[in-house]
Amino acid sequence: MLPVIVKPFAEADLKDSIQWYDDQIQGLGLRFLQSVQLTFESMQKNPKKFQVRHRKIIRAAPTKSFPFLVYYTIEEDRIVVLAVFHMKRNPSVWKSRLHK
């Protein structure tokens, strides 16, 4: 299985979302994190399972029970997570990160 590498912007997305969910209901942030981790595991088991969404190389994997997509690319020796993004947010935000 390929290792999953989470880019700093995606790590910030994840931390912000965990905090937001915990602010709503204590413990919900942990449930969100577990959902994202299950998505990572699914990506590892079958990296090409999820649909290509951008630039013919960036895929999007949905999380269970939460309206988020994990945007990632498959490299030769790893899976790189570019964003953990709420489906209602403007996708131009994570796309702008590709140039940084």
The token duo for 96 is 């702008």
**Contact residues for 53 (Cβ-Cβ < 8 A; gap 6+):** 59, 60, 71
Q: What is the pLDDT of residues 50-98, one digit of tens each?
A: 999 888 899 999 999 999 999 999 999 999 999 999 999 888 888 887 7
At 82 the three-state DSSP class reads: strand
The model's pTM is 0.92
> Class of the 4-99 domain?
alpha beta
The residue ranges of every structural domain in the chain are 4-99
* E-state strands within the chain: 4-6, 52-54, 58-62, 68-74, 79-86
